[in-house]
Each structure stands twice: as C-alpha cells, then as structure tokens.
Structure 1
Amino acid sequence: MIRIAILAGFVSSAWMIGPARADTPPPRPTMWYWHNWTDHAGVSHMTKCPVRDFDLKTMSKPAGPQWQDRMKNEHGQVIFTVQPAHWNGAWHPDPKVQWIIPLSGAWYVTAMDGHKVVMGPGDVSVGEDQLSRKDQQGHVGHDAGNVGDGPAELMVIQTDETPTTDRPCRFR
C-alpha cells in the first residue's frame, strides 16, 4: 500500500527556460504546487509552493539525464522530473515500482511487445517492469521519451512495492 499523501491542487506548473548554449545545461526548472496546511490554531491555509531543487541526472541507466527533485518519504518518494524537449530514455527497466503522472507536455512508453502509449496531463501509468529480461534485440524494460518540441513535466511516485509478474491491473 502506498503511504504517501499527495498534496492536493497541482493547479499550475511552470518551466522556466532562458537562452541556453549547446555547451551549457539549461537552467534549473521551477514547478509549482498548492499546499493545503494547518496552523497551530487549527486553521487551514493554501500556499503556493515552488519545487526547484532539481538535479540533471539519469533516473535509470542508460536513460539520458532529466531534471529531478527527489522528495523523500518513509515508504516511498515523490520525484518531480522535467524531460527536456526531444528527450529519449533508451531501453531500461523502471528503477522501482512507480506511478507516473504527466503534469504538462506529453511523453511515450513503448513496451517490449511493441505496444506504444502516448500520455499527457491527466493520464496516469504505473511502471513495474523490473523483472523483464533482455530480448533478442537487447531490449529490456521499456523505451520512453518526450513527445513534441517542449519539455514534459512528470510527477513520479516511487513505492516500496515488490515487483510481480503475471498480474496486470493488480493495483485496484
């Protein structure tokens, strides 16, 4: 069971981009979320909060680098990631059982059976291909990438679930 409280109201997110040269990485992005919190008197408040502690690194080799801000939790972690325009992750398994929610832009996942799904804001997927094995073409896990000419912002919720086999749609 996932024991992560997801803060309500991901109303908007912003990708800050400035002029970038080929020899320098793009500036760190900033995304936003609404935090519904309670003060010492028991009064709740809505505060718009930035997410901006991003590192440009791979999530699972040999996938290319993407912006990541890891938010630790006792039973999992939430990662906000920004895939740069034209990002391609190559063939790789998910590092953990994880839920992926696009916040803006679009991305795709192609499974080893050739089934390709393009997802955008409002779509949700769960990655549980850790037990996949290399096929004759050397593919393992999935191929993923960015669709379009802009970045794709994703929220990834990594869990402490143990990966399984032969159990499609097990999260109900």
Structure 2
Amino acid sequence: MPENVMKIEQVLGIATNDGHDSANPPHLTYMAMHTDPAGLSAMAFRELTGFSPRSLGGQAASMWMQRFAGAPTEVWFTVLPVGWVGEWHESPARQWVTALSGRWWIETADGQRLEMGPGEIHWGQDQSTIGQRGHRSGQSGDTPCVQLMIRYTGSSGCEVSWPFTVKSEATT
C-alpha cells in the first residue's frame, strides 16, 4: 500500500451494534475533510453519535435517529464516469457525500488519499484553503460511481465545523 493511502480500520458508515441495546446507542464512523491550521485540506476519522430511539409515526416501531443541525440547501445525485478526475478544487459547500454504487477517491493537500465505496460516508468542508486549493477526487474501478450529496449553508467559520465527535486522527 502506498505511504499516502489511509488505512481504514473500520468500514465507514457501518453501525457499531445491532441496535437492540437501548443503553448502547449505535455510532457510525465517517471521514471528515477540513482545512487545517496551515490552510491545507486534510482528513480525519469522525463518529456520528447522539442517536436516540424515535418512531416515524403511526404504528412504526422506534429506530435509532440522529438529526443533523443545519439547513440542507441542495440534494444532488451525481454519476462519476469511469476515469473521471476532479483536479484541485474546494468543497463547494459543507456537504455529506456517500457512494450508492461504484467507488471513488479523495486526495488532500497534506498528501492523504482515501478510497470509498457504497455506503461509506464522507463530510466535506475544505473551504478557504491555500496553495493547492482544496482536494482532488476521482472515480475508481471499471464502473461509474453513483453518489448522493447533501449540501448545507455556510462555509469556513460556520458554527458546526465538526458535525460530530473525533474517532481518531488519520494515519498513514
């Protein structure tokens, strides 16, 4: 494995338990991309926490839910063609991105690179970067990558810089 490829110890976006223990709410690991103090894009593993049991209404049983603070402004479905590369660019908005099918990758200015597949969750917030602006991203493999993006208002300096807690810093 090349030195700059991140090692994923846990699959991103997979619940940590079967959801039946009310004293042990699940949490989900995701990758957060941000602008570090030096002005470079960087990545770190984070966790979605704070799930509580709620029903959708009617006779639906409760399930674990976690509401994300903030106002979604756009929902996009994207298809990255085979071989697609997005050269250096910043995240256009604070956004959740998850692959629905296929695979894609992100490379940050600090030299880290991460490949993600279906169900793996990414939070993008690399605004106001310097030097190589933002990050590179691209499609991996021999099938297009279909993604769901949910964009939010605000950019750098927004009140929710890290939507959830730190799991561990990215390692090389």
> TM-score under structure 1 normalisation?
0.51
- 1:149 equivalent in structure 2: 142
2:157 is the counterpart of 1:164: yes
| Cα offset, 1:105, TM superposition | 0.4
Unaligned runs of 5+ in 2: 1-57, 61-70, 165-172
Q: Return structure 1 stretches of 4+ with deviation > 4 angstroms.
A: none
Q: In structure 1, what residue type is equivalent to 2:113? A: K
Q: Which amino acid in the other structure matches residue 142 of structure 1?
A: H
Which one of the candidate residues 140, 144, 147 is aligned to 2:133? Answer: 140
In the TM superposition, what is the alpha-carbon distance from 1:164 to its structure 2 partner? Answer: 3.3
Percent of pairs with identical residues: 35
Show structure 1 runs of 5+ residues with no match.
1-41, 45-73
Alignment of 1:116-127 (within 5 A): 116-127=113-124
Give me the whole-angstrom Cα distance separating, in 1, the residues matched to 2:157 and 2:104.
Answer: 25
TM-superposition CA deviations, 1:33-88 (whole Å, max 9, x none): xxxxxxxxx8x9xxxxxxxxxxxxxxxxxxxxxxxxxxxxx741110000000100
Give, in angstroms, the shift of residue 121 of structure 1: 0.6
Tell me the secondary structure at the aligned position of residue 171 of structure 1. Answer: coil
> Partner of 1:8 in structure 2?
none
1:171/1:89 CA distance change after superposition, 3 Å: same
Query: Quick one: which of 83, 88, 91 aligns to 1:94?
Result: 91
How many residues get paired?
98
CA drift of 1:131 comes to: 1.3
Residue equivalent to 1:79 = 76
For residues 105-116 of structure 1, the aligned pairs below 5 Å read 105-116=102-113
Please say if residues 127 and 155 of structure 2, whose CA atoms lie closer than 8 Å, have aligned partners that are also in contact.
Answer: no
Q: Distance in 1 between matches of 2:72 and 2:104?
A: 27
Compared CA separation, residues 128 and 106, structure 1 to 2 (3 A): same
- C-alpha distance in 2 between matches for 1:85 and 1:157: 23
- Equivalent pair of 1:107/1:118 in contact (CA under 8 Å): yes
- Determine which structure has greater relative contact order: mean sequence separation of CA pairs < 8 Å that are 6+ residues apart, divided by chain length: 2
CA contact (8 A) 2:104 2:117 kept: yes
Conserved? CA contact 2:99–2:117, under 8 Å: yes
Return the letter of the residue paired with 2:111: G
Q: TM-score, normalised by structure 2?
A: 0.51
